[in-house]
Amino acid sequence: MNDYLTLILGVLAAGVGGELFVRGTVGLAHWARVPPGIIGATVAAFATSSPELAVAVNAALVGRPELSLGDVLGSNVVNVALILALALLISGIRSARGSMGRDFPVALLVPVVTGVLLLDGVISRVDGLLLLGLFLAWLVATAIEARRQRSAAGSVLGERRLGRIVLSCLVGLGLLVLAGRLIVAGASGIAAALGIEAFVIGATIVAVGTSVPEIATVIVAKLRGHDEVSLGTILGSNIFNGLFIVAVAALISPISVSWRTVAVALVFGLVVLLLSYPTREGLIERRRGAMLLALYAVYLTSLLQGPVA
């Protein structure tokens, strides 16, 4: 019963934290005259990925990095096939040119690079350095574009006073981190009692738990009319997860896992991103939300059936 209560408290903390953090990040974009989509892809994405980072570090330190890899790969599927799908069911999302030209290609590259690195059954420390290098290159490109577009930001909703902006960001971030830990603790306790394998726990229950900050942030941003924050947070979170967090875990402890074990999560992670790629006009239609949810159900079924032959 305590595990269920912990899970509920985590969800509540994520809801409040998501609202505060969106207000803070949108206000930060306005104050710095940076497009909200850039903030969403960097600050918001990093903040909402903090539970995955905590899981990765803790799992690697105790010699169980496969749990963190399952969490990362599962979270990236959840971000698109569940969270983006729910946002799309509210209404279609229009992608900024920056997301189409910079974030989508890198997000698509993540599962491909991960799959190639896992052909020998291990993500080594050298592989971790490679992933970290790719992440830093993307971050620099994002920072350069943010500087170039400083004057392009229009008036947006959110906190306007710097003190309130900082307070909203910090309190929201604190609640999101707390939410991630509570949800992971509750979900892990429930899963362990059911005797589920570590990678499957990471790729299913823990992945959903650590993705609750993204769920709260993306849905709240969508309801407040900030599509660029919603999409930027999802794509940025996938990039942070797949490049930075996996790199950190591998640098602490090389990740040994068979291709058969990760194949389902990698393939679905790539497929759902391809399905959500915007049209030439930059629109992700509402009907794709239902398609993504259907794929998420297939993903869960495939993963729970065990590794592919």
| Res 309: pLDDT | 45
Q: List, for residues 238-282, the tens digit of each pLDDT value.
A: 999 999 999 999 999 999 988 888 889 999 999 999 999 888 888
- pLDDT tens track for 9-53: 887 887 788 778 877 877 777 777 766 666 666 777 777 777 788
Q: Report the predicted TM-score, pTM, of the whole model to 2 decimal places.
A: 0.80
Lowest mean pLDDT among 187-201, 224-238, 281-295: 187-201
Least confident of 23-32, 50-59, 134-143, 218-227: 23-32
Using the predicted structure, report yes or no on whether residue 152 has a pLDDT greater than 60.
Answer: no
Of the pLDDT bands very low, low, confident and very high (cuts 50, 70, 90), residue 231 is confident
Query: Please, which residues bridge with residue 255 across strands?
Result: 123
pLDDT of residue 283: 86
Contact 119, 259 (CB under 8 A): yes
Give dist(CA 191, CA 3) in Å, integer. 10
pLDDT over 80 at 76, yes or no:
yes
Task: Give, in order, the Cα–Cα distances in Å from 50 to each of 117, 167, 194, 237.
Answer: 24, 18, 27, 10
Q: Does the structure show a pLDDT above 80 at 57?
A: yes
Give 122's strand partners. Answer: 256
CB 40 within 8 A of CB 231: yes
Q: How much is the pLDDT for 107? A: 92
Share of the chain above pLDDT 70, in %: 88
Instruction: Please measure the distance between the N-terminal and C-terminal CA atoms of the chain and give it in whole angstroms.
Output: 37
So what's the pLDDT on residue 151? 41
Q: H or E segment at 22?
A: helix 2-32
Which comes out higher in pLDDT, residue 296 or 150? 296
The CA distances from residue 246 to 52, 142, 160, 197, in Å, are 10, 20, 36, 20
What's the mean per-residue pLDDT of the chain?
82
The rounded distance, in Å, linking the Cα atoms of 140 and 124 is 24
Contacts of 297 (CB under 8 A, 6+ apart): none
Taking a C-beta distance cutoff of 8 angstroms, is the pair 29, 10 a contact?
A: no
162-210 pLDDT, tens digit per residue, is 888 889 888 988 888 888 778 777 877 877 787 777 678 778 878 887 7
- Position 155 pLDDT exceeds 60: no
Highest-confidence range of 40-49, 84-93, 201-210, 212-221, by mean pLDDT? 84-93
Q: How confident is the model at residue 157 (pLDDT cuts 50, 70, 90)?
A: very low
For position 6, what pLDDT does the model report?
A: 87
Q: 236, 301, 243: which is closest to 268 by C-alpha?
A: 301
Q: What is the pLDDT of residue 67?
A: 81
Percentage of the chain beyond pLDDT 90 is 29
- Look up residue 159 and give its two tokens: 């906190």
Per-residue confidence (pLDDT) for residue 204, from 0 to 100: 83
Q: In this structure, what are the phi and psi dihedrals at residue 11, rounded to the nearest 5 degrees?
A: -60, -45
C-alpha distances (whole Å) from 51 to each of 21, 72, 175 are: 15, 10, 11
Instruction: Give whole-number Cα distances, 99 to 40, 52, 120, 267, in Å.
Output: 11, 23, 32, 22
CA 224 to CA 232: how far, in whole Å? 15
Instruction: List, in order, residues 6 or more apart from 108 with CB less than 8 Å away.
Output: 270, 273, 274
Q: Is 122 exposed, middle or buried (0-12, 13-18, 19+ CB in 10 A)?
A: middle
What domains appear along the chain, each with residue ranges and CATH number? 2-304 (1.20.1420.30)
Query: What is the Cα 253 distance to its own chain's centre?
Result: 22
Helix (H) or strand (E) holding 192: helix 162-193
What tokens does 128 get? 């971790």
State yes or no: pLDDT of 232 exceeds 50.
Answer: yes
Strand blocks (E) in 198-272: 255-256
